[in-house]
């Protein structure tokens, strides 16, 4: 089978197609024929090993796991002994446990992992483009303590995590102000944002409005810049590793000093399977939809990655692997 691998850290073109052995499902595993996956900033961070501390997870000198990609949609081709939740022919979607390994034609996953059957009336491409953004958004919004009726500002609302955060927050009953650039204002508004700020025309930190939670989905604003826009008792959280060295100490300091908090996206007991099931319900009840900017075949994974690294994408960039079967 074909897979896009990277055998060393570096620029986009270190990822290349090779033939690898097709996996065989073990007991309690399913073999999925991948129809679609994505390229996102998490993949780019792993591939570059930046920030450097990521090498503690991915390998100090070279990558230990050489296939990128964390979310997928496809069809169950075979099942191992003991599998009861899935059957061959089932359409499934989800994420891998370590957010790695989906830039390939086949993969094996435990049946009790973070995957489930496809939402009704959803294409493989749409289903592949939703999980990681939602999981990251949910993690951040939970840590910030977002609840119904609160005012949330999402900065970077047109990206993968941002478009997910807008829709998830609305499903939780929050009042959402979304910040994006001019070209994406209408797209973000169509996702349900109550207010949309074009950052090319207005600086939200200077308009006098305050929020219970500020969620920086792209790591472009620091807590120190945003704190004036938080209410007393409000929280700032960030999905990206921007300002990484600043945020951990600020999270410790603000936990005991002051009335505004920095909340890092860390959960003691993360449950991505629960999040995938929650997302499936949102999709089937019409409260969530995928936002896809561009689609590339697996053979053009380098081009897809270069586009993601322009930081200009809207929503998600999809890799189609199944030859148009979606």
Q: What is the pLDDT of residue 270?
A: 74
70-103 pLDDT per residue, tens: 999 999 999 999 999 999 999 999 999 889 999 9
pLDDT of the residue at 38:
98
We report the CATH number of the domain holding residue 108 as 3.90.180.10
Torsion of the alpha carbons at 279, 247, 216 and 220, rounded to the nearest 10? -140
Cα 138 to Cα 129: distance, rounded to the nearest angstrom = 16
In this structure, are 140 and 161 located in the same domain?
Answer: yes
**Residues 234, 27: Cα–Cα separation, whole Å:** 47
DSSP code of residue 287: S
β-pair type (29-39, 106-110)? antiparallel
Q: What is the DSSP letter of 85?
A: S
- Is 274 contained in some domain? no
What is the Cα 98 distance to its own chain's centre? 13
**Domain tally for the chain?**
2
pTM: 0.94
85, part of any domain: yes
Are 187 and 233 contained in the same domain? yes
Q: Is 83 inside a domain boundary? A: yes
Which pLDDT does position 23 carry in this prediction? 97
What is the domain range of residue 303?
2-129+290-320
Provide the b/e sequence for 268-286 (b: ≥16 CB within 10 Å): eeeebbebbebbbebbeee
Pairing verdict, β 195-198 and 175-180: parallel
- Whichever domain contains 179, its CATH number is 3.40.50.720
Domain annotation covers residue 280: no
User: Do 86 and 161 sit in the same domain of this protein?
Assistant: no
State whether 152 and 211 are in the same domain. Answer: yes
Claim to verify: residue 164 and residue 200 sit in the same structural domain:
yes
Residues listed for the chain: 326
Low-confidence spans in the chain with pLDDT less than 50: 324-326
Considering the domain architecture, whether residues 186 and 92 belong to the same structural domain is answered as no
Q: In whole angstroms, give the CA distance from residue 45 to residue 5.
A: 15
Statement to judge: residues 22 and 115 lie in one domain: yes
Same domain, 111 and 166: no
Would 39 be classed as within a structural domain?
A: yes
103 within some domain? yes
pLDDT at 243: 54
């Amino acid at each position: 089978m074909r897979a896009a691998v990277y055998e060393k850290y570096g620029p986009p073109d270190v990822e290349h197609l090779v033939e690898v052995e097709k996996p065989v499902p073990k007991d309690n595993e399913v073999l999925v024929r991948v129809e679609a996956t994505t390229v996102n900033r998490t993949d780019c961070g792993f591939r570059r090993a930046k920030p450097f501390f990521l090498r503690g997870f991915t390998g100090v000198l070279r990558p230990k796991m050489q296939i990128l990609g964390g979310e997928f949609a496809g069809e169950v081709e075979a099942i191992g002994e003991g599998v009861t939740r899935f059957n061959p022919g089932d359409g499934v979607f989800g994420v891998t446990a370590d957010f790695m390994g989906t830039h390939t034609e086949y993969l094996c996953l435990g049946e009790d992992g973070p995957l489930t059957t496809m939402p009704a009336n959803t294409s493989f491409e749409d289903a592949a483009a939703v999980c990681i953004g939602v999981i990251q958004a949910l993690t951040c919004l939970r840590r910030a303590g977002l609840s119904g009726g609160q005012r949330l500002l999402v900065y970077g609302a047109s990206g993968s995590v941002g478009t997910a955060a807008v829709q998830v927050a609305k499903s939780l009953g929050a009042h959402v102000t979304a910040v994006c650039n001019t070209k994406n204002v209408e797209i973000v508004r169509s996702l349900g944002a109550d207010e949309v700020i074009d950052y090319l025309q207005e600086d939200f930190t200077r308009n006098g409005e305050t929020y219970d939670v500020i969620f920086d989905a792209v790591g472009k604003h620091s807590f120190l810049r945003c704190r004036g826009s938080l209410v007393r008792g409000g929280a700032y959280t960030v999905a990206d590793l921007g300002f990484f060295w600043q945020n951990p100490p600020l999270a410790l300091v603000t936990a005991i000093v002051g009335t505004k908090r920095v909340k890092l996206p860390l959960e003691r007991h993360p449950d991505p399977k629960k999040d995938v099931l929650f997302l499936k319900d949102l999709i089937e009840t019409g409260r969530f939809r995928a936002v896809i900017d561009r689609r590339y075949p697996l053979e053009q994974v380098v081009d897809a990655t270069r586009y993601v690294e322009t930081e200009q994408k809207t929503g998600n960039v999809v890799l189609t692997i199944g030859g148009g079967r979606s």
